[in-house]
């Protein structure tokens, strides 16, 4: 993929497809382009010949707003 994509060009994919028992959680979902998502379909990474650029992980974010005492 390499190039920067717009949000409208992205989707998410289950690494282990839901049809194969994959959960919908932070460790099984990755962002991908629509073309790659269609190419992978309901297959495993091995079956599709694809690989992950980064391992998925739960995001760590901090609140942007602090409350004044």
pLDDT tens digit sequence for 16-69: 999 999 999 999 999 999 999 999 999 999 999 999 999 998 888 766 666 665
Residue 11's SS3 state is: strand
pLDDT for 60 equals: 82
Long-range contacts of 8-11 (CB under 8 A, 24+ apart): 9/33, 9/34, 10/34, 11/37
| pTM summary value | 0.74
* Buried b / exposed e along 32-62 (16+ C-beta atoms within 10 A): beeeebeebeeeeeeeeeeeeeeeeeeeeee
Which residue's structure tokens are 């942007």? 64
């Amino acid at each position: 993929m390499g190039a920067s994509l717009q949000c409208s060009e992205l989707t998410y994919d289950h690494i282990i497809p839901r049809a194969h028992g994959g959960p919908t959680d932070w460790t099984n979902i990755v962002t991908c382009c629509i073309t790659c998502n269609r190419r992978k379909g309901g297959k495993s990474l091995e079956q599709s010949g694809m690989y992950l650029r980064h391992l998925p992980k739960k995001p760590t974010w901090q609140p942007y707003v602090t409350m004044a005492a």
